[in-house]
Amino acid sequence: MLNALISHKDQTAVLTLPMDRFSLQYELAQIGIRRRLTDIPISDEDEQDIQVKLYADSDIGNSLAVLFKPTHSLDDANLCAHMVENARPELLEELEQHIVHGQYHSPQAVMADIKAMTDELIGVTVNYYCPLKIQISDEEYGDWYEVDNGYGIANEDAIRELLQKEQDSDMNNMADYFHGSESARAKLVSAIWDVENVNGELYGVIRTGLREALTPAEEQEWIDELIGQAADGFGEGLEQRR
């Protein structure tokens, strides 16, 4: 999609975007760059410690590359390339035409339009709820202990912010990890993890956007997937990173 020519001191790397963030950070470390992706501007000015130039081998890639200015970061370029490359097939023709014909003024406009076009595919939204077990750590001893749901209610906004941050750090929508039947995958558009106060108790909620309603068998596939994601993603995985 995009090629990034990155120079640091006397070392150079040519990387193909999009790339998962861990791999990208690793490749940068090989030429001595240890800055966060968000702190690396798209600029090839000589006075810059790190120089980044974007180019491509296609019209759509080059039309996308010119949208990036020094105010944008390498993380912006990587995320935008990912969203374009992984846009749903039914959106690609219109999206590519918009890019090639210069209908966007910034990469943020491209990403916002992809999200809006994707949201337009949603015909049905179904919320799936799950109970929350809330544990906090003892600052002195590091032990974990369970607290009641009132703690969750008091910290609802902070929990929601953490869930959103976790999802924002992943270039894929959680629905992209679903590997169920072809019919179920064709209906699934998006899955957003959130929390909701229901009659004074805080629950986890997965807001699922669908083209059309799932059959009972397809829905069971999706519920099984959510249980697994909750255990391995926002359960164990999130706990290990915080």
pLDDT given at position 241: 52
pLDDT given at position 231: 75
Task: For residues 164 and 109, give the distance between their C-alpha atoms in angstroms, rounded to a whole number.
Answer: 20
pLDDT given at position 238: 57
C-beta neighbour count of 43 within 10 angstroms = 16
pLDDT given at position 237: 52
Q: In terms of residue numbers, what domain contains 155?
A: 124-241
26 dihedral zone (left: phi>0; alpha: psi -120 to 50; beta): alpha
Residues 112 and 130 in one domain: no
Of the residues 119, 147, 169, the one at which a domain ends: 119
Question: CATH no. for residue 169?
Answer: 3.30.70
pLDDT given at position 239: 55
- Say how many domains are in the chain: 2
Residues 137 and 109 in one domain: no
Task: For residues 79 and 21, give the distance between their C-alpha atoms in angstroms, rounded to a whole number.
Answer: 9
pLDDT given at position 26: 96
pLDDT tens for each residue of the chain, 242 residues long: 899 999 999 999 999 999 999 999 999 999 999 999 999 999 999 888 999 999 999 999 999 999 999 999 999 999 999 999 999 989 999 999 999 999 999 999 999 999 999 999 999 999 999 988 888 877 767 677 888 999 899 999 999 998 888 887 777 788 888 999 999 999 999 999 999 999 999 999 999 999 999 999 999 999 999 988 877 656 455 555 55
Task: For residues 32 and 180, give the distance between their C-alpha atoms in angstroms, rounded to a whole number.
Answer: 42
pLDDT given at position 85: 93
pTM for the full predicted model: 0.82
Residues 113 and 153 in one domain: no
pLDDT given at position 218: 97
Long-range CB pairs of 101-106, under 8 A, 24+ apart, other chains included: 102/63, 104/67, 105/67, 106/67, 106/72
Residues 135 and 107 in one domain: no
Q: Are 122 and 190 in contact (CB under 8 A)?
A: yes
Task: For residues 52 and 8, give the distance between their C-alpha atoms in angstroms, rounded to a whole number.
Answer: 9
